[in-house]
Amino acid sequence: MRIQESSNTVRALLKRELAGYFTSPVAYVFIVIFLMLIGFFTFYISRLFEAGQADLRGFFEWHPWVFLFLIPAAAMRLWADERRLGTMELVLTLPVTTAEAILAKFFAAWIFLGICLALTFPTVATVSYLGDPDMGAVVCGYVGSFLMAGAFLSIGSMTSSMTRSQVISFILSVVICLFFILAGYPPVTEAVSGWAPSWLVGFISRLGFLSHFASIKRGVLDLRDIVYFLSVMIFMLSANGVILENRRTA
């Protein structure tokens, strides 16, 4: 019974949070910037038309780097804004648990990011018109991108609960997200392999987002990669809960 009540509470809060995104022009500006950056990197930097191949590797390769700055920008207001406006205390005194409030905010923001990803479908349509891409790999790429976006978002949610300053939250989130990107970035692992033992190189590579995302975007949905991204989300949201619980009891 309690689980059903909690689910209904999260659903109601999620609808409220998600509706809040589309009552503000900031959401639409974010969508436009996201689509413009993805389109610019795909068509002008990766030169999709000149490549002569009907695939979306150049499209997905830029997602981690676009996420690195845009998702912390989207997440920095999740809790920092509540603290700045003095409404966090009100939220934490409502008849909802900390976990319910965290999940509602997180899933609303994650759905919003999913909508942003879905709006990139003209790129898929363009490649499909020009050739015959492997749609299985395309679907896997979107699944991996969505999971990676959730991992980035969970980091941003955690840093947002640490401070009332959105700028500080943004900087902290970018630094942590950059660590997770560089941990699996080939030039970094190659540099580390020059002096570190092979087990350490393998550990650092598996710790990074890129190595897990790379296998998914190739069309391989490995359970280990899915569990990895879900584990990052669970860990960061749990840390988010610890921070907010300390503020609730303070």
Q: Which has the minimum average pLDDT: 65-69, 129-133, 170-174? A: 129-133
Side-chain half-sphere CA neighbours of 217 within 13 A: 21
Query: Could you read off the pLDDT of 15-55 as tens digits, one per residue?
Result: 888 888 888 888 899 999 999 999 898 888 877 766 666 67
Residue 144: per-residue pLDDT: 94
* Torsion angle of C-alpha atoms 61, 62, 65, 67, degrees rounded to 10: -100
Q: Which has the minimum average pLDDT: 68-72, 165-169, 228-232, 233-237? A: 165-169
Query: Could you read off the pLDDT of 195-206 as tens digits, one per residue?
Result: 667 777 777 777
Residue 185: per-residue pLDDT: 73
Tokens describing residue 13: 């809060």
Residue 87 has pLDDT above 70, yes or no: no
Residue 4: per-residue pLDDT: 61
The most distant pair of C-alpha atoms in the chain lies apart, rounded to whole Å, by 60
Q: Pick from 120, 114, 116: which is nearest to 48 by CA? A: 120
Q: Pick from 142, 123, 146, 110: which is nearest to 54 by CA? A: 123
Residue 82 has pLDDT above 80, yes or no: no
Question: How many domains does the chain contain in total?
Answer: 1
Residue 178: per-residue pLDDT: 92
pTM score of the predicted model: 0.88
Q: Quick one: pLDDT band at residue 56, thresholds 50, 70, 90?
A: confident
- Which CA distances in Å does 237 have to 85, 86, 153, 201? 22, 22, 10, 27
Q: What is the mean pLDDT of residues 8-12?
A: 78
The domain in which residue 151 lies consists of: 2-249
CB proximity list for 146: less than 8 A, separation 6 or greater = 113, 114, 117
Residue 197: per-residue pLDDT: 75
